[in-house]
Structure 1
Amino acid sequence: MASNPFDQQQAIPGVKKIIAVASGKGGVGKSTVSTNLALALREYGQVGLLDADIYGPSLPRMMGTLNQKPVLSEGNKITPVTRYNIKTMSIGYMVDENAAVVWRGPMLFKAMDQFFRDVQWGDLDYLVIDLPPGTGDVQLSLVQKVPVAAAVIVTTPQNISLIDAKKAIDMFERTGVRIAGIVENMAYMINPANNEKMQLFPKGELSSYLEAKQLNKIGEVPFNPSVSLGSEAGIPIVESNPDGAEALAFKDIAKKIHAL
């Protein structure tokens, strides 16, 4: 009888809860949500942030740690790069930003294992993992190797994004991972003239889908150019403007995740 691959899960020493951030689709702001969620979770303890997007790592730029290199300690353990009091790790620290990572599945599995076992994460209350788009090797490696406390699914309002978010939800449900809830990114824009909410995208079927699936929307993050500008500059909005509407939305999401 074949063994169950999920029986091989091993906790990362010192890490209390792993929170996976997924979307199923690129371009919806998943990495922005991951970085700002990690920053917001600092209120509840020590936080780590792992960029699991091997082919398109963006954490070094978003966290302002471009060109930094992790150091090897005794026993060939990797010391994560710390920024904003968050321990971070990314393949982007080890390859040039313009270089393509041309790896097959087994190499991805090995890289993920090294991120979990060979990095000195220390004692963390939360390890936020920014997953790549899709439902492929990296996602499968994650759920097979470590126990994930909860998954956060990121989507934008329109159905073209929801289609792929549904696939990410289905994957986590099939692998027994709890869905913390859905984050609707770029949900609206605040009109600076009158502070009214404006819809940038057509509202899709997210609300009816969540009701049918009995899932929660745990956050609506408004669109603001300053959010992407902050990511480009390496100063996420929770750090650069902690009292703004966008940062408060991320803080509310973090509060709900902490309450799980």
Structure 2
Amino acid sequence: MDIFRKTDDPRAVAFEAAGLRWLAEAEAGAAVAEIVDESPGVLQTRRVRETAATAAAAEDFGRALARTHAAGAPHHGCPPPGFAGEGFMGRAPLPLRAEPPGSWGEFYATDRVLPYLTAARQNGSIDDDGARTVERCAGRIDDGEFDAPQPGLVTGVAARLHGDLWSGNVLWSPETGGTLIDPAAQGGHAESDLAQLSVFGAPHRERIVAAYHEVSPLAAGWADRVGLHQLHMLIVHAALFGGGYGAQTVSVAAQYA
């Protein structure tokens, strides 16, 4: 068996492993990297044999991702079962909630946008004017101006998210198709996962979304909310890496401020 071995902070490993198991429980959902062994600070998974993505594989992945989301979560910001405390998105801390927020907007503004603004200001990637733009945007989000229904298959308040679904966290395999790795799994809005796929350009993204929409119709106006749902990933990158990510964060926030 070809094994991929990853070492990290023990809490980060525990969070990732819990997320992989939770995502894998979704009936007929997207393929997930198989855990072979887990110990404090060490995670071993079966290595995914990679190939180029095809349009057909992208469509299959879109439909499977819809079913993963439809498996649901107790509330926005909830952790995977068996994990408690703060999670991680890459090297960034990820607030998780034991109790449900009042709304998606409250959760997204309070837990997914504003916690990273201080670090982005400290590294100089977001200046005072930019910070005010982000804060105005967060205020409108918190007020519920962008709250929208989940896609059709999601029957509860929250979808079961991968949570860090940039293109590098989907490996394409001839055996399993689009396969999820490195999750920051949580409850949230399904549109967030779909929006993250385009931050760095997933192959055949249009096919993924079209196939998703075919089996789990997206709410009206979803295309206008793509940037909004990318804002979390962008501001995390601004906080961690600075540089142009700050300007990109402010530019997107300005569209909703």
- The two structures have a TM-score, normalised by structure 2, of 0.27
- Structure with a larger share of its residues in strand: 1
- The two structures have a TM-score, normalised by structure 1, of 0.27
- Structure with a larger share of its residues in helix: 2
